[in-house]
A = this chain, B = another copy of it.
Amino acid sequence: MSILVVGSVAYDTVETPFGRAERVLGGSASFFSMAASFFAPVCLVGVVGTDFAEADVAVLRARGVDLEGLERMDGKTFEWHGRYAYDLNSRDTVRTDLNVFELFEPRIPPGYRKARHVFLGNIDPVLQRGVLDQIERPEIVACDTMNFWISGKPEELRKTLSRVDVLLINDAEARQLSGEWNIVKAAAAIRALGPATLVVKKGEHGVLMFSEHGFFAAPAYPLEQVFDPTGAGDSFAGGFLGYLASAGGRDDDVLLRAVVMGSTLASFCVEAFGVDRLKSLTRDEIDERYRLFKRLTHFEAP
């Protein structure tokens, strides 16, 4: 049962208080597929330029990611340059060069169209819907978006959300999308737009999930060194949807475990620049940290 991800593949230049990484592999589809690949086969749809290095193709291949859907276009790969403040919670975009990504029109290879689990990375909601039109009968459609689309294409976004099962956004985006400050009310308003399940990502404060069964909270794993937060959200999504694909169904207890698996993958992602930590990661390390999450959160009756 493969997972289909559609999103960006990029070269990131990242500055943190701990150092700088120059043109390293990034983009939502890269982080997502590296994380999800620990649970199920991943098919990637994205676009890169002629400058995209074979070494980076090899990084994704090493994790078994199917790259038939990775289009190579004349021009340069999407480049992003960001700088994090000392608290690692706020970042400035120094520069964004969309390059070939500006012309991205996702074409889903015939072999991908039976995918049962789909992740729509943060792209134009019109394109997100175009992807869904090419998929036969997905079981779970998960989706990310951002302030740019919430304010810029609200009607298109609503049409897309009506076809989405799980929306994963941050708390500021949830408030903006719903117009509600209170996060419980915001979640109810967003779920009324379509997504039965809403995952609200709060960075170092963890995540809240709202589903038809109620709500669930998971902390972020307290790390002594958060090295580079880039990609944490997409790694979360990869662990989350990857786990759902491997476990099957979407009962509440499966969703809860998926949230913790997402948090686990995100906690590894931020330990090094770009996808570096995901490259060396093993399933044993994942399972060990999942167990630590349990110790971190469980308690008995009074």
A: residues with CB less than 8 A from B are 86-87, 181-185, 202, 204-206, 208, 214-219, 222-226, 243, 247, 253, 256-257, 259-261, 287, 290-291, 294-302
Partner of A219, one of B219, B222, B290: B219
* Complex copy number for this chain: 2
Cβ-closest 9 pairs across A and B: A217-B219, A205-B205, A256-B299, A184-B224, A297-B297, A184-B222, A257-B299, A260-B299, A215-B222
Distance, CA A217 to CA B300, complexed state (A)? 14
Partner of A182, one of B181, B215, B224: B224
Distance, CA A184 to CA B225, complexed state (A)? 8
Distance, CA A295 to CA B302, complexed state (A)? 14
Take A219-B217, A222-B208, A296-B216 as given contacts and tell me if A302 and B182 are in contact as well, using a CB distance cutoff of 8 Å: no
Tell whether, in the assembled complex, residue A217 and residue B206 are in contact, meaning their CB atoms are under 8 Å apart. yes
Cβ distance A209 to chain B, nearest Cβ, rounded Å: 10
Partner of A225, one of B86, B182, B261: B182
Name the residue on B nearest A203 (C-beta). B205
Chain B residues, Cβ within 8 Å of A290: 301-302
Partner of A257, one of B182, B214, B300: B300
